[in-house]
Amino acid sequence: MNYDETLNYLYNSVPVFQHVGADAYKPGLQNVMILDEYLKHPHRNYKTIHIGGTNGKGSTSHTLAAILQKAGYKVGLYTSPHLIDFRERIRIDGHMISKEFVVSFVNEHKSKFEEVQPSFFELTMMLAFAYFADQKIDVAIIEVGLGGRLDSTNIISPDLSIITNISFDHIQFLGDTLEKIATEKAGIIKRRTPIIIGETTPETKEVFEKKAEKENAPIIFAEKDNILIDAKIDTDGSWKYYTSLYGTLKGELGGLAQEKNTRTILSALRVLQDLNYHINTEDIAYGFEHVVELTDLKGRWQILRCNPTAICDTGHNTGGIKYIIEQLKRQTYKNLRIVVGMVNDKDISGVLALLPKDAIYYFTKATIKRAMDEQEIQALGNKSGLVGTCYPTVDIAYEQALKDADPADLIFVGGSSFIVADLLSYLEQA
């Protein structure tokens, strides 16, 4: 098989959560433990850092990767989902996995995959672990796929675990209360392994404390760590972080959520230094300021153009949308135009209820099976007082918003990672 045929095999031979949702979800570690033994435990050949949570995993993972790269480490980065190219999920020092390795790996082990019948995520994760071992990396940053306790990535024994925050997402799998969700996320807390918690609520803090105590794991609450003294948004939309340990840092990633993410990252850096990772202040400053260049991160309060200003963000649940709404309130514009779509297994009504009533809406859908029909989301939006028109694809909705917009307007595109993915794919081809 060539690369295109291999991708087609992956997408059509194993269930893909990104496309079909619940039918692709395989909780438990049985499949990956079989594959891990078959592949001779590739993840044991390098250090790992494990990152879970509801929101902020991507920004946290990429920023830590950027800093470690600058510090001279050869860094693997495994994240999901991808936005444009499947190979975005698996990177070393910012470079995507080679097409040749994807093809050779699948061709070599195809018969075993057909015997075990892993999910798309399980297979992709093992591909990443094997690639990192083959390329002799120093450390891999591994992002949890869904939950934690039963997530495929939970076979690793990391140097450090991080849980960014807890919000309502994937409640059909993780539970319908913050305590239940926190219990699943806390599953990545390992025996005597430091755990950093980015944000807590009264309901979740006790869950983490009990699990950490049970595992004799040192626990650090980033909100109480006091490394970040102050944070301000600069005139160019970047952040200025004033810290007690690393001086003043410029944060390239925009959006209000980054202040919380930075508290988590700073706590993680202190622990990594205590674990004898060789990271100096210059590495930290450069990584924060050049994370997009170093890791090719996309879709985090990404400014696409000016006059009119267009911005996209992958925030897709109530926790993430709250930050986006607060950020929108801080912008200056004549009219706010929002291109929005969601997938059908999210808290759609909860998200729509948060969106501003005075915006002009362009309801649309992404090109995946899980996407909610644009007319359904319009009807739900109308119940929340949102007024707008339906468009069958993201590119049509975006182009109409541009056509309608005054140069002083602001166009925001979001509601789902897949809406942003479709938009970025369209703009890349335009």
Q: What's the CA gap between 82 and 98, in Å, rounded?
A: 15
CATH number corresponding to 3-295: 3.40.1190.10
pLDDT at 62: 98
Asked if 159 contacts 192 with a C-beta cutoff of 8 angstroms, the reply is: no
Q: Could you tell me the maximum CA-CA distance found in the chain, to the nearest angstrom?
A: 59
Which tokens hold the place of 411?
């166009």
Asked if 160 contacts 275 with a C-beta cutoff of 8 angstroms, the reply is: yes
What are the two backbone dihedrals, phi and then psi, of residue 335, each rounded to the nearest 5 degrees? -130, 145
Which one-letter amino acid corresponds to residue 301?
W
pLDDT tens by residue, 128-168: 999 999 999 999 999 998 878 889 999 999 999 999 998 75
pLDDT tens by residue, 326-336: 999 999 999 99
Task: Please name the CATH architecture into which domain 302-429 falls.
Answer: Alpha-Beta Complex (3.90)
Same fold, 3-295 and 302-429: no
Mean per-residue pLDDT of the chain: 92
pTM recorded for the entire structure: 0.92
For the chain, what are the domain ranges?
3-295, 302-429
Residue 115 has pLDDT above 50, yes or no: yes
Q: What's the CA gap between 340 and 190, in Å, rounded?
A: 39
pLDDT tens by residue, 231-270: 999 877 789 999 999 999 999 998 888 999 999 999 999 9
Residue 423 has pLDDT above 80, yes or no: yes
Sheet with 239-243: strands ordered across: 228-233, 239-243, 248-251
User: Which residues 6+ apart lie within 8 Å of 426 measured at CB?
Assistant: 394, 395, 398
Task: Determine what percent of the chain is predicted with pLDDT higher than 70.
Answer: 94
DSSP code string of 382-415:
HHTT-EEEE-SSHHHHHHHHHHH--TT-EEEEES
Residue 56 has pLDDT above 80, yes or no: yes
| DSSP element (H, E) containing 155 | none
User: Which residues 6+ apart lie within 8 Å of 86 measured at CB?
Assistant: 7, 10, 102
User: Which residues 6+ apart lie within 8 Å of 218 measured at CB?
Assistant: 192, 194, 195, 212
